[in-house]
Amino acid sequence: MSRIGKKIIQIPDKVKVQIESATGGNLLKVTGPIGENSRLFRRDILIVQDAEGIKLTPAHNSLELKALWGTYGSHITNMIKGVTEGFKKVLQIEGIGYKTQLVGNKMTWSLGFSHTVDKEIPNGLKVTVEKNMVNITGIDKEAVGQFAAQIVAMKPPEPYKGKGIRYEGQFVRIKEGKKSVA
C-alpha cells in the first residue's frame, strides 16, 4: 500500500480542480492564483474529487499500479503547490569570466569555451540574473528542475578549483592538487 497514495489531497480555497475524461486517460486541470497546470493521467488509477479533497485508488492490484499510485499523488500535490506558491531553483556561477546575459527569450553563456552557448528559456518559466546568481521560477516543478539541470550540465563544478555552475547551497568537495617533489 502506498502511504502517499492513500492520503486525501486537500484542495485550498483559491484552487479549482477539474477532472476530464480524455483519449488515453484522465486530464486533470488545476487552476490557481499564479496560473493553470494540466496533466494527463492513465485510467488505471481512479481519480475522484469530493468535498474532502482528491482521492486516488488503483483499478486493480498489480505491482506497476502500486508504484504509480503514490507517484500520481505526488504529481497532483505538486500541481496544486505550483499554482499557489510556485517553484524556484537558484543557480550559482563560480569562476573568472563565467557569466550569462538574458537576451529576449534566450540566455547567452560565457563558460570558458571558445564560443558562447545559447540556451532558450522554455515557455512558462521566468529567469532572472543578478551578478553570479540565476533564479528560475515557474508553476511546473518538473520544468523548473529540468531546465536547471540542463544549465548545470553545461559546466558542472569541477573538483580542483570549484569553477562551474552549481545549485545554491551545493557543497563541492575540493581535491588536493599534485604535490611537487623537492
Which CATH number does the domain housing residue 92 bear? Answer: 3.90.930.12
Q: What is the pLDDT of residue 6?
A: 87
Please identify, among 57, 84, 111, the residue that sits at the C-terminal boundary of a domain.
84
Q: What is the pLDDT of residue 1?
A: 63
Please identify, among 31, 61, 84, the residue that sits at the C-terminal boundary of a domain.
84
Q: Do the domain assignments include residue 174?
A: no
Domain range enclosing 69: 3-84
Please identify, among 84, 99, 123, the residue that sits at the C-terminal boundary of a domain.
84
For residues 67 and 117, membership in a common domain is answered with no
Q: Do the domain assignments include residue 99?
A: yes
pLDDT in tens, 113-158: 999 999 999 999 999 999 999 999 999 999 999 999 999 999 999 9
Q: What is the pLDDT of residue 142?
A: 96
Three-class SS of the chain = CCHHHHCCECCCCCCEEEEEEECCEEEEEEECCCCEEEEEECCCEEEEECCCCEEEEECCCCHHHHHHHHHHHHHHHHHHHHHHCCEEEEEEEECCCCEEEEECCEEEEECCCCCCEEEECCCCEEEEEECCEEEEEECCHHHHHHHHHHHHHHCCCCCCCCCEEEECCCCCCCCCCCCCCC
Domain count, the chain: 2
pTM above 0.85, yes or no: yes
For residues 58 and 115, membership in a common domain is answered with no
Q: Do the domain assignments include residue 181?
A: no
pLDDT tier for residue 182 given thresholds of 50, 70 and 90: low
Hunting for cell 486530464 — which residue is that? Answer: 27
pLDDT in tens, 15-71: 999 999 888 788 999 999 999 999 999 988 999 999 899 999 998 888 888 889 999
